[in-house]
Amino acid sequence: MIPRRLQRLATGLRERLEAQPGVVGRAAQLARHARPAAELALADRGTLRAWMRYIGPIHTSLGVQAETGYTRLVLRAVKIEARVGRLVALTLPDQLARVRPERQRDYFELLELVLSTRPNALGLVARTLPELMERLSGPALRRFLSEGLNLHTSSERVAESFLKRESERGQQELERLTLGLPLKEVSRALALYARAHCGEDVQVRADPGASSAQPAWSEGRHIHLPERVDRYGDERDFLIYRVLTARTAGYLEFGTFDLHLQQVPGEWPTAHPGEGDLERFLRSFPNKSLARDLFRLAEDARVEARVIAEYPGIARDLAVLRPDELALRPEITDLAPAEQLVEALLRRSWGAPFSDDLPIRVRAAAEAAWSLLRPESVRGVEDVASAVQSAFPLAYRLMTFVEDRDLRPNDGQGQGGSGRRDRVETPDVGRGADSREDDAGQPQDGYRGLEEPMLGTALRPEALSAEDRAEDEAARELRAAMTEEGLDATLSEIRRALRQQTPLNDRSYDEMVAFLERNAAPEGAIVEDSETPSRPGPLPGPLGAALDPDNDPAAPSFLYPEWDQGIGDVKPQWTRVREHVLTPGSREFVTSVLEEHGPTLRGLRKRFQALRPEALRRVKGLVDGDILELDRAIDARITARSGGSPSERLYTRQLRDQRDVAVAFLLDMSSSTNEVAAEGGKRIIQVEKEAWCSSLRP
């Protein structure tokens, strides 16, 4: 119970602050803090100090809801035990920052539930819950959490591995409870579908970072899709995967990344090393984000029209999904004029008419821009680039116009206007200028960009690997030479020709496997994750002495499961193994070990040689041989005397038997081998190294 003196102090403080109109917000905050501070002062001074340290930043950064929930949880924890209160007050702020605002209430409710049933597990749950809430919600989340708390009774380490989804049991339970369609279940069908579209060695890759804000993308080589689609929970989730695959494969099939700027009128910025024409084209606009959105919606409309013409089944999928996609779009009246224009063009490309809520000037600009960008006006990607070049000024002017009437919604009273307008300069597009962006790559005029559609697919030429950029550079040089000779070919066609002329040893392993699968019957696994390759790749060249293979990001790496004795379970994809070619070392170590252990080595060799099979092996029934086999010769003679046809296989030959035994040794080189062995005081890895000296001897 709070003493009356502290109650009067809190009440007086609240009254004095509320009497000052200039600090009402601050007064309300301090008033909320007065009573909790008094309670914590009586319960535990350490908890009070921690709470006072973080409550202000939580209010400023995360809002009143986070502040209130944090305070309530600290008060409940300190009543259970002072140690628990200090733990919550000190550790919870960092975890709160990882929780999305709309999930804060669920987060606090679950923590209060854990606090009331198993307070010792609160710290573990607070750390693991934010990431877990990104995958599960509602009853499924509670069931998963309940299973983890049951494991916490026997072992905190087992529970932590389960809640972090590090153990196989945790991953299986999460997979069972997670809604939606995982990519791995449909990846083979999608990969075959994409290859049928493109006729190239395209792969469908899972992108763990993909989300509803950026569901699918391509860098010009492969298709990157989200690991899971869980929008509907029925067969429509597969339709989403199919539409995303068809659209992204359409980029590759219909030449989106084959832009040839020499065929687009204008002067373009000087190309940076390894930079493609699409990147250079977008860099030429004063607002790269706006240009990218215009190019994307126009190119998506062109590609979608081509895909539907070639594969009519996609039209049926779009007819099912597009109404929901339109319903999810933002209110057009909440957007800035240039954003309204881009949003209106996007909806128009989906077949929806221009909204009556569009301001007069925005509608006029949208109609003019659509006449340039519509699929009927463009045939190839160069036509789209030229149309974007012409349409960009229409959108760019809307960023700087300030007009009292013409930027209001269309009320049917004509399109004239007498309000004031600011003059703007026509942007330098196609004149060799660079995009005017700040150091962080953001446009300086505040354009926020297009909100990602439900079926959005992005172009990311900047994500192209260095090897692929080098291949593109060679293809562009060949294309330039062919253009001078009056020949024409796309980058995709030139790349395919280059790969066919490249020796197999110089190809990447993934391309070689894809090539073999395509020319045979492709029945193996097709889906590959760029982070966890399922097949071994080529070893790199010898490393220099200064290059640490454990820290070299270019070294091929592979993930393997590992058995954890502490939790009694397997940790899938837990151990990363990096391959590298060893540099030659000194022979002195091998020589010294062989001299020290020579007698033992000779004894072992003698024992193994005793297992050698018989030196000679007799083979019977030969047409020609060293010895005539008496029994077979007699049988042949009897057969001949009886009028039959005798066998000619009458000889025996002695063959020298060669030993051919293949032995595989698995050598443990994990960090645990750095421990000292029980005898001799040597490290385990040192003993292993000595044991291999005979094999390492040249």
CA proximity to 246, closest of 316, 184, 293 = 316
- Neighbouring residues of 47: CB distance < 8 A, sequence distance ≥ 6: 40, 74, 77, 78, 82, 85, 86, 89
> Domain boundaries in the chain?
4-177, 613-658
CA proximity to 17, closest of 4, 32, 7, 5 = 32
Model confidence band, residue 15 (pLDDT cutoffs 50, 70, 90): low
Read off the DSSP letter of residue 490: -
How far is it, in rounded angstroms, from Cα 615 to Cα 473?
61
Read off the DSSP letter of residue 218: E
pLDDT of residue 617: 73
- Please check whether residue 225 is in contact with residue 208, taking contact to mean a CB–CB distance below 8 angstroms: no
How far is it, in rounded angstroms, from Cα 128 to Cα 472?
44
Most confident of 229-238, 520-529, 575-584: 229-238
Name the least confident of 299-313, 634-648, 661-675. Answer: 661-675
Most confident of 5-9, 56-60, 523-527: 56-60
- Please check whether residue 246 is in contact with residue 227, taking contact to mean a CB–CB distance below 8 angstroms: no
Task: Give the residue-averaged pLDDT of 232-250.
Answer: 90
Q: Judge whether residue 159 has pLDDT over 60.
A: yes
Read off the DSSP letter of residue 551: G
- Please check whether residue 345 is in contact with residue 294, taking contact to mean a CB–CB distance below 8 angstroms: yes
pLDDT of residue 533: 40
pLDDT of residue 595: 82
Phi/psi for 494 (5° steps) reads -70, -40
Model pLDDT for residues 439-470, shown as the tens digit of each residue: 444 544 568 888 888 888 888 888 877 777 77
Model confidence band, residue 612 (pLDDT cutoffs 50, 70, 90): low
How far is it, in rounded angstroms, from Cα 74 to Cα 202?
53
Residue 420, classed as helix, strand or coil, is: coil
Model pLDDT for residues 491-520, shown as the tens digit of each residue: 677 766 666 655 444 444 444 445 444 444
pTM for the whole thing?
Answer: 0.56
- Please check whether residue 312 is in contact with residue 263, taking contact to mean a CB–CB distance below 8 angstroms: no
Residue 526, classed as helix, strand or coil, is: coil
How far is it, in rounded angstroms, from Cα 163 to Cα 177?
13
Task: Give the residue-averaged pLDDT of 138-153.
Answer: 90
pLDDT of residue 430: 57
Residue % of the chain over a pLDDT of 90: 24
Residue 561 zone, left/alpha/beta (φ > 0; ψ -120 to 50; rest): beta
Which helix (H) or strand (E) segment is 223 a member of?
strand 223-226
How far is it, in rounded angstroms, from Cα 77 to Cα 71?
10
pLDDT of residue 175: 81
Q: Judge whether residue 244 has pLDDT over 70.
A: yes
Higher pLDDT, 543 or 601: 601
Q: Judge whether residue 340 has pLDDT over 90.
A: yes
Tokens 């999810």 identify what position?
A: 328
Tokens 């995303």 identify what position?
A: 244
Model confidence band, residue 222 (pLDDT cutoffs 50, 70, 90): confident
CA proximity to 241, closest of 220, 217, 208, 216 = 216
